[in-house]
Amino acid sequence: MKKLLKSVAALAMTAVICTACASGVKPNEVFSVADLDGKTIGVQLGTTGDIYSSDIADAVIDRYKTGAEAVMALKQGKVDAVIIDNEPAKVFVEKNEDLTILEEEFAIEEYAIAIKKGNTELTEAINGALAELKSEGTLELIQKNWIGDEAGQYPYTSPESTEYPNGKLVMATNAAFPPYESLDENNNVIGFDADMMRAVCDKLGYELEIMNIDFDSIIAAVDSGKADVGAAGMTVTEDRLKNIDFSDPYTTATQVIIVRAE
């Protein structure tokens, strides 16, 4: 009987191994930040994850247009891990039971609004609006509406008396980064950044227009004047400050690591 049980167990283990081989997806080998050395890492092109991952020893960085494409590459075994913001990571993992987020954080960062370099008037105006939104609690409610256990309970609506005497303000974003920005069933850009920027515009008397483009094109759009601002979960870095200015931070975020579940 013991021999029979051992044989059954061996056959079962062989079946598991053969199934894994047939799928072409190797088991997860990343259990901490230290394990990233020498691995193939998927990132969204131009993001903080892209920038920070470049410092990982001997790592191969595979860059994708969207976080969703990087996650698909992870599922297919093309990369060993994906580095991305915690909130989008949660969305991807909720939809994919074969993925998980490591408990160890990769990096802490602050998001801010990108503004054309030297446009101090707009920068100061936006900073003033952000300060008001923080002090009155509106920014906190916008965040709660998109992030956390109370998501969906505090939808932002413009005050009834709001007017837009200053025309339109164009915000460039990449609507593939939920819950900060994504597309609804009518292809309208929704999310934390969209509502935050709408609230800022309501304060400043601008009608908000959102332009959905590739993430790595946002800075160029702001610099060229095609867009007035960029809001897309964007972190202030020294390299970015060479080309654009930033507002004061409006939220704090965490970069995490997604891997295949065991």
Strand, helix or coil at 235? Answer: strand
Supply 2's token pair. 């013991």
Taking a C-beta distance cutoff of 8 angstroms, is the pair 240, 109 a contact?
A: no
Length of the chain: 262
Q: What is the pTM of this model?
A: 0.79
**If we measure between CA atoms, which residue out of 68, 26, 27 comes closest to residue 47?**
68
CA 57 to chain centre: 24
Task: Give tens-digit pLDDT for 108-135.
Answer: 999 999 999 999 999 999 999 999 999 9
Token output for 145? 């509406």
In this model, does residue 1 exceed pLDDT 50? no
pLDDT per residue as tens digits for the range 203-244: 999 999 999 999 999 999 999 999 999 999 999 989 899 999
Residue 179: is the preceding peptide bond cis (ω within 30°)?
A: yes
Residue 156: CB atoms within 10 A of its CB come to: 17
- Quote the pLDDT of residue 204: 98
- Closest alpha carbon to 134 in 260, 251, 3: 251
Q: Is the dihedral of CA 117, 123, 127, 129 positive or negative?
A: negative
Indicate the SS3 state at residue 61.
strand
Domains and CATH numbers, the chain: 25-109 (3.40.190.10), 113-246 (3.40.190.10)
Q: What is the pLDDT of residue 15?
A: 37
| Cα–Cα distance measured from residue 141 to residue 244, given in angstroms and rounded to the nearest whole number | 29
The H or E element containing residue 3 is helix 2-23
Q: How far is CA 85 from the centre of its chain?
A: 5
